[in-house]
Structures are given as structure tokens and as C-alpha cells.
Amino acid sequence: MRWLLGSILLLLIGIALQLGLLVYSMYALLGVILLSRFLARQWIEGLTADRECNRVVAEVGDRVAVVVNVRNSSSLPVPWLIVEDSLPRTALTQKPARLKVEGRRIQLAQIGPHGTLPLLYQVTCQMRGYYQIGPLMIESGDLFGLHRRYRILTEPQFVLVYPKVIPLVGYDLSSRRPIGEIRMTHRLFEDPTRIAGVREYQRGDALNRIHWKATARTGTLHSRIFDASTVAGATIVLDFHQDTYPAQGEPHRSELAVTAAVSLANAVCQLGQQIGFVSNGRDAADRIRTEGWKHEFRTRDAAQKDFGMEDENDRLQPVVVETQRGVEQFQRIREALGRLELTDGLTFSQLLIEAASRMPRDATVIAIMGDVSTESAIALGNLRRNGYAVTAIVVLQGGGGSESFGHASGTRFLDADGMVDKIGRLIAEGIEVRHVDHEAAIGQLCSEQLVR
């Protein structure tokens, strides 16, 4: 635009001063500018593209193959073109990187009339997460560099990488629960409000146990089976507030917390017990739905900046997977943990107040925390005083394994990250505390059972 205005101004000056050579030069320059502007627009508007990914869900360590084809539907050749398939910048620059790219996702090339430009690369998923692949950004322009055009050719695709599951030692013992009490072999007390199933009538069954609908349908007497009125299953409450995980320990501590949560959920599901999940983190899919992404930008830098995640989050809605039984329950929790992101929304104490009504009293509350504030310890203590069975797992920055704290296993402390006083707050509230500082320690969480 500045070149065009300058040329018009010089043309007017040449006409006013009757400078024929200047007028001729400005006519030629205006012609070049207008022709370049027209060609730059025609070149980029004739381009289309599509992308294919060989998978949309993956495990840690899997490779995702991406194939992008840029096509020129115009009869005009495109002399130069910069093609870039966008990936989250933080996932590539973080140390260690969450994604590792092999191949060329950025390319400078030219396309002939009705030609095709292939873009092939592979992404290795080194950490769990919900990653955006694309959109495809292209940049082109005239041969003189006077006009540049930018376009977004494809919508993004998303790949969910599941968190790693670590088997817990002893989880396959049917009489054990991963954290908390052992399950009673003989059901001394049953809850008549919780029907577990139906069986044929046995001598001595009370009349109030008879299932009359099943009896009428089959023609033989059937009795109801009730669940035992004892604590069973767990609700995992994960603190994922960004202030809980200092930058010097990231991303190891937050990823360790997620791995511990998904491993415990898997262990409880293997026992056929109810399991649920609550967190104050942010769901990446929910973030994308609410924030969206733009389609047009003036520069490639502006596009890349917009594709990044917003640092602040004023949404206070927790991520909740209701506590219940079911073969699909673990998959729901694993997907939620795969998409979970650190946020600055609810604090852990606020989360417990918000989610207390959604947590059943017949399930152990397993709190996984990166830090222990006074407010958090009091909030967990209040849950215990209200009748919940509560266990806390503190994620440390590094050290020597898994340790159990409490009256049943002695008082042994680790002076890591100033955790002595912090763990003492939980013990003072009567809460059993364990800690993990590396992945191997997660497998030992169930090795020491608290029998009550």
C-alpha cells in the first residue's frame, strides 16, 4: 500500500511539473505493482490442501505419521511458497520435549499448474497430552517481494496421548484394596438400598429379599443380592493447580502425579470396584471449544502465537468423572487425565469444597498433591471428620521411593522441598500420607496395606 501511494504521489508531481520521464517511470511502476498484486492473490487463492494422520489416539512412545498434500488447482504456476504444518510450540521447546518431529513439516517450494506438493513427517509422542496438529499455514507473494499473502488451508486435527499406566504390586489380590481398608470376605451388614444382582431363592431368605418381578417372569422364586455396607472403591482427587508445581520441577512432578492417578484408577477398576476422578486442572478439549482458533492472520508469526495456549484461565469448573462401577469407567478417567492441563483456576481447598457433594461416602478419597498448604490439610481433615476415608499421596521432586506416614506405620519423614512440616499438617489431621518421587515408587504404593 505504501508503494502504491508513493507511486501515485510521484505520478501527480510528474504530471504537475510536466516531467515526462518521471511520469513514464511511475506508469511502469504502477503497472508492475498492480500486476504483482493480482498475481500474488491468484497464486494463493488457487491452493487447497488436506491432511491425514494414521491415528488420533496414541500411547507414550508411539509415532504419528502425518501426510499433507498441497494442490494447485489453478492454471498458473506458483513460483515460491512456504508451507508449514503447525504444532504446539510449547510441546516442541519444552525440555524434555513432549513431541519429537522427524521429517520436514516446513518447506519452501514451488508448484506447477495443477501440481501437488507432498509434506511428510512423523511425530513421536514422548509425553501424554492432547496435541493440536495443524492448521496448515502457507505464505506466498510476487517475485519482487512487494506483496505477500498468508492463508490457513486446513483445520487442525487433535491427537490424544494416554498417560502411562504402571502396574501396582499386589493389585491383583482380590482381597486387597490399593489404598485403605481390606474388603470384608463375610458380608456382616448389607445395604438394602443398593441392589447388586438377582439369584435363585435359597432356604432361609427373608420375604423382603424376594424379587417378585423376576419370580413372575421366570416362574421360580428369585431373591435380591445387596451390596455390603462397607467402604469400597475410591475417588481420586488430583491437585493440578500451577502454583503447586514449581517451574524447576516441571514437567516431571505434574506428569508423575498424573501417572500415579491413572495407575491407581487402573488398580481399583481391576478389582471391580467403583472409581471416580476429580481435578482442578483444565480439560484441553474444553479449552479448545471455548477459546477456538482463528482462520485468518496478517502474518505467520501472529498465527503461530495464536495457536498457543492462553496462560490465564478464569474458569472455575472442575474436571469430574462421577464415581461408579463399569468397564468403561477407567477409559473415561484415562482420557480425562490425558487431556488435563495445569491451570490457575480453583485451588485444592476450593476444589474439595466444590466437589464434596459429588463424592460418595462409601469410597475412599485419594488426594494426590504436589504441595500441602494449611488450607488443603484442613479441607482434607474436614472430609475425614465428615465420615470420609481419606488417604493423601504427596508428589516430591526426587528422592528415594515410596514411604508411608501415619500412626499405623510409624513417623518417618523426608526433608525434601520443606515437606516435613507440610506432611505433619496432614498427619495432625489424622490422615494417612504416602509419597512418590519417581515412577518406580508408584508401583509400591500398595505394597504396605493399612488394615483396620
Query: What is the tally of structural domains in the chain?
Result: 4
Residues 418, 390 share a domain: yes
DSSP state of 241: B
End-to-end CA gap in the chain: 80
In a shared domain, residues 207 and 266: no
Separation between Cα atoms, residue 157 and residue 167, nearest integer Å = 32
Please calculate the CA angle 324-328-332 and round it to the nearest 5 degrees: 85
The verdict on residue 108 lying in a domain is yes
| pTM of the predicted structure, to 2 decimals | 0.76
CATH code for the domain in which residue 361 is found: 3.40.50.410
Please state, in angstroms and rounded to a whole number, the distance separating the CA atoms of residues 417 and 244. Answer: 12
**What is the reported pLDDT for 407?**
37
Do 276 and 400 belong to one domain? Answer: yes
State whether 37 and 53 are in the same domain.
no
- Cis ω for the linkage preceding 96 (within 30 of 0): yes
Residues 51 and 116 in one domain: yes
Give one DSSP letter per residue of 199-244, joined into a string.
EE--TT--GGGB-HHHHHHHSS-EEEEEEESS--SEEEEE--BGGG
pLDDT in tens, 146-164: 778 888 888 899 999 999 9
Q: Is the peptide bond before 163 cis (omega within 30 degrees of 0)?
A: no
Same domain, 156 and 222: no
Q: Please, is 190 exposed, middle or buried when counting C-beta atoms within 10 Å of its C-beta (0-12, 13-18, 19+)?
A: middle
Say if residue 78 is in the same domain as residue 103. Answer: yes
Same domain, 434 and 344: yes
CA 258 to chain centre: 10
Residues of the chain with pLDDT under 50: 171-178, 180-188, 294-296, 308-314, 399-414, 449-452
| 74, 217: one domain | no
Q: Based on the fold, state whether residues 13 and 92 are members of the same structural domain.
A: no
- Size of the chain in residues: 452
Q: Which residues contact 149 (CB under 8 A, 6 or more apart)?
A: 40, 41, 43, 44, 139, 140, 141
Same domain assignment for residues 105 and 151: yes
Tell me the per-residue pLDDT of 104-119, one tens digit each, with 9 for 90 and over.
999 999 999 999 999 9
* Residue 60 and residue 29 in one domain: no
Residue 183 lies in a domain: no
Q: By residue range, what is the domain housing residue 369?
A: 234-281+318-442
CATH code for the domain in which residue 61 is found: 2.60.40.10
Confirm whether 90 is domain-assigned.
yes
